[in-house]
Amino acid sequence: MSELLLIDDDQELCELLGSWLTQEGFVVRACHDGLSARKALAEQAPAAVVLDVMLPDGSGLELLKQLRNEHTELPVLMLSARGEPLDRILGLELGADDYLAKPCDPRELTARLRAVLRRSHPNATPSQVEIGDLCFSPARGVVSIDEQELTLTLSESRILEALLRQPGEPLDKQELAQIALGRKLTLYDRSLDMHVSNLRKKIGPHADGRPRIVALRSRGYYYSL
pLDDT tens string 158-177 = 888 888 888 888 888 888 88
pTM of structure: 0.61
Instruction: List, in sequence order, the alpha helices (H) in 3-150.
Output: 11-23, 34-43, 60-70, 85-93, 106-120
Per-residue model confidence as pLDDT tens digits over 66-111? 888 888 778 899 888 755 667 777 778 788 888 888 888 888 888 8
Q: What is the pLDDT of residue 124?
A: 44
Which pLDDT score is estimated for 166?
82
CATH number of 3-120: 3.40.50.2300
How many Å apart are CA 131 and CA 222, to the nearest integer? 13
* Contacts of residue 33, Cβ cutoff 8 Å, sequence gap at least 6: 9, 55, 56, 57
CA angle 129, 178, 148 (to 5 degrees): 30
Q: How many CB atoms lie within 10 A of CB 179?
A: 16
CATH class of 129-223: mainly alpha
Domain boundaries of the chain, sorted by first residue:
3-120, 129-223
Q: What values do phi and psi take at 31, rounded to 5?
A: -130, 145
Please count the residues of the chain: 225
Count other Cβ atoms within 10 Å, centred on residue 195. Answer: 28
